[in-house]
Copies of this chain bind each other. A is one copy, B any other.
Amino acid sequence: MSTSDPDRRYHHGDLRASLVAAALAQLEVGGAAALSLRGAARTCGVSAMAPYRHFSGKEELLEAVAASGFEDLAVALEAADASADGAQALAAQGAAYVTFACRQPALFRLMFMGPGCGPDRSRAYAILERRAATLAGSRMAVADLTLAAWSLVHGLAALILDRRVPLAGEAAEDAARRITLAFARLAAEAR
């Protein structure tokens, strides 16, 4: 009707994307515990049941949030993978991985420890594998090297996020670069 506030249209326009954005925002400020379906709906100015028109339930919303996180991760890794030197590039990827985790800890956790554990070898994996292939040799197959490199940075990120290791901010990224580089050189020399 003509008299009503344009912000209060019955139809939201793009609720699905707004819900994902709201969930992401909530994730950043309050951690995973503060993420509620109702809260996201409230943020979008919509009723508690509206999200169910776009997601089958809470879990599916979280999966969508995680998916958007994987997109960002892939972009960050691709950007870091610039150096011509294989070991340097791998180290840069490692640092970028840890940086991503440190900057969006709750998102990172959700992406990996979340309820949706789909076996999706993501785009990020492909980027890493491409680099690892240039370093692999007889001592370590490509698959193992890729898995080792990924485990290394993933574990480092996880340990840092959970404060299992006294590193934070810049120091964390430095450690990631240093360790990934050492690992890459070890692998390259032993080829």
A179 near B113: Cβ-Cβ < 8 Å: no
| Binary flags per residue of A123-153, CB closer than 8 Å to B gives 1, else 0 | 0000000000000000110001001101111
Q: Which residues from B are CB-within-8-Å of A33?
A: 115
B113 near A158: Cβ-Cβ < 8 Å: yes
Interface residue tally on A, bucketed by range: 35 or more
A55 proximal to B (CB < 8 A): no
Interface of chain A residues 152 through 179 with chain B (CB within 8 A): 152-159, 161-166, 175, 178-179
| Binary flags per residue of A58-73, CB closer than 8 Å to B gives 1, else 0 | 0000000000000000
Interface of chain A residues 26 through 57 with chain B (CB within 8 A): 33
In this complex, the member of A33, A109, A114, A155 whose beta carbon has the largest number of chain B beta carbons within 10 angstroms is A155
A6 proximal to B (CB < 8 A): no
**Alpha-carbon distance A151/B182, docked complex (angstroms):** 14
Stretch of A7-15, A16-24, A81-89, A183-191 with 4 or more beta carbons under 8 angstroms from chain B: A183-191
Residues of A within 8 A of B (CB): 33, 109, 112-115, 117-119, 139-140, 144, 147-148, 150-159, 161-166, 175, 178-179, 182-183, 186-187, 189-190
Give the top 6 A-B pairs by smallest Cβ distance, nearest first.
Answer: A155-B155, A151-B155, A154-B155, A151-B156, A186-B186, A117-B163
